[in-house]
Chain A
Amino acid sequence: MYELFEHTADLGLRATAPNIDALFAEMAACLCAAILEDPTSVRPTIAESIEIAGTDREFLLFDWLKELLYRFDAEHQVFSRFEVSVRQDGLTATAWGEPLDPERHLLNHEVKAITYHELSVVPTDGGWRAEVIVDI
């Protein structure tokens, strides 16, 4: 489950999930909801494998979202479905999506960057919760 929330001039992404793998997938979906008006417009036709190294859980989330943003901005790919496996030393993920089609994919915000501000990945009673602010 994810939501976008207000933050001064920018935008916050927040998600909760029963386990950390699902949390990282939800945060990715949340980023796509910030970028696209309707994330369900993205057809999962191409599967991309992504691997990221890192031991700090918060930096790992940061780098995961940063990679997806890069693929949108530089490679014009949009995604709608994610499977993530978070390990002690990094993560392995598959992201399903398609090339950006401006006719079908209406853009919401231009996300300039993922930021460290109030970046958090924390355990909760029923699972995990994450927050990150993006610069728009």
Chain B
Amino acid sequence: MKAAFAGPLERVDSCCYRIPKSYRADMRVDGLIFANDALIESVKKDQAPDQVANVATLPGIQGASLAMPDIHWGYGFCIGGVCATDPAEGGVISPGGVGYDINCGVRLVKTNLFWDDVKHHVRSLVKGLFHTIPAGAGRGGRYKFDAVETRRLMAQGPRFVIDRDLGVPRDLTHTEADGLIPDGDPDQVSDHAVKRGAEQCGTLGSGNHFLEVQVVDSVFDADVAKAFGLELNQVCVMIHSGSRGLGYQVCDDALAAFRNCPAKYGITLPDRQLACAPAESPEGKKYIAAMRAAANYGFTNRQLLMQQAREVFAAEFGRKWEDLGMELLYDVAHNIAKLEEHVVDGKRKRVWVHRKGATRAFPAGHPELPDVYRAVGQPVIIPGDMGRASWVLVGAAGSMERTFGSTCHGAGRAMSRTAAKLQAAGRRIDKELESKGVIAMASSRMGLAEEQPAAYKNVDHVVDVVHEANLSRKVARMRPVGVIKG
């Protein structure tokens, strides 16, 4: 890792810093990093601000190259990066602005259970979840789809499995884009990707992906919480996963296909991992079609994970999941590029909004929101770490003015995996969590060490920034009580 960021960071206001366009001759726009005085020091510690500046060089970029307060170093774009490009101005699409895990995202499932109903069941629930839901490297799922079915699944999204009684139609209306990104073309997804995805739908994966049983421990906005169906001490299930090997392969394939694009389209890139092509070029269109199909796979993966969790709860409590009120609050993508309408310099434009480790956060009244949330705004689900807290926020008007309708996506790593493992040497993270009231099961002890709470920034601090910047507002905070990990 190279040295800390040494460039300029000008304070714009109490929750935003600017890397001015004048920092480098190749920057087309400013870089803006949402952070407060407390967080900005940690932001400077790695090359993530340089990556914000790198993104500012992309053809067709609009407004500014943006980063959310959970910013940390990523491939090409930083994690927490947001950028909008205008296809009418030669704007590019970049797989590095979406990430390897296309439509990595999070969903929150409510229950009508409260802490008192569940506290004596947590250990048994976690065991049931761990044995039912495949997690960790190399574990295939119980749902096997052949190549034809996998392609159909990408074309239809979760509807494909809901038609097989793995969920209910109302799950779709509680998923971003109604669970189907239109114009995805499974035929643009390689056979390699389809093969990687065929056995992995309905599996959690490893790394930072998890399934958590949580309890609402604070409510900050009673009206919005009521509209979302959340109340104090209520039990929820949070699921964080993505498009598994299929998505990684789609990204890989696009990076390979884009190798010659800089020369072909006269684009100068400061970092090879920023590979991109004009959104309207044949290479760009092919990636967009494949990326959208992979995104639909990601929604379906989380649908199958949710359905398995519903079954485990039903078995534990001896009641149907419907009777336990296990309704989907919302499912949001946080690694995706979408064509959206935004106002830029007073003009309404359709732009490619890349969100890499960032969550869409549309405010009340936005036409893309489902009827049930249009009056209050979009639910924004922010996973934290397995020892402290996660959050539900609601999209706020500032996101449309400042961040192309985006907000943060999580706590953000504060420690490398190696450092986390070293710090965990000789310790039992599962026992430590248990002493704090969290039952954790993981397919590898090392995974638990790498993902220990101290490896992450305090999510409360990240959420404070987006709340103050009015990108999204606090609704409720949840504490974890049970977790399964890869």
Contact = CB atoms under 8 A, between A and B. Distances in A.
Interface of A: 6-11, 35, 59, 63, 66, 70, 73-76, 100, 102, 107-110, 112-117, 119, 135-136
Given A8-B46, A8-B416, A9-B416, 11 more contacts: A6-B416, A7-B416, A8-B1, A73-B196, A110-B138, A112-B100, A112-B207, A116-B272, A116-B273, A135-B75, A136-B206
Contacts of A74: 192, 195-196, 245
Nearest to A112: B248
A6 B418 contact: yes
B157 interface: no
Contact of A9 (B138, B256, B413): B413
Given A100-B138, A109-B137, A115 B273 contact: yes
Contacts of A70: 192, 196, 249
A135 B100 contact: yes
Contacts of B417: 6, 9-11, 136
Contacts of A35: 137
29 contacts: A6-B417, A8-B1, A8-B46, A8-B72, A9-B72, A35-B137, A70-B196, A73-B245, A100-B138, A102-B138, A107-B136, A107-B138, A108-B446, A110-B137, A110-B138, A113-B248, A113-B251, A113-B252, A115-B75, A116-B75, A116-B272, A116-B273, A116-B275, A117-B75, A117-B271, A117-B273, A119-B272, A135-B100, A136-B207
Nearest to A133: B75
Nearest to B73: A8
B433 interface: no
Interface in B246-262: 248-249, 251-252, 255-256, 259
A110 B206 contact: yes
A99 to B, nearest CB: 12
Contacts of A107: 136-138, 444
Contacts of B252: 66, 113-114
A136 to B, nearest CB: 6
The 7 tightest CB contacts between A and B, nearest first, are A110-B137, A6-B418, A110-B206, A74-B195, A107-B137, A116-B272, A74-B196
Query: In the complex, which of the residues A8, A11, A76, A119 has the most CB atoms of chain B within 10 Å of its own CB atom?
Result: A8
Contacts of B413: 8-9
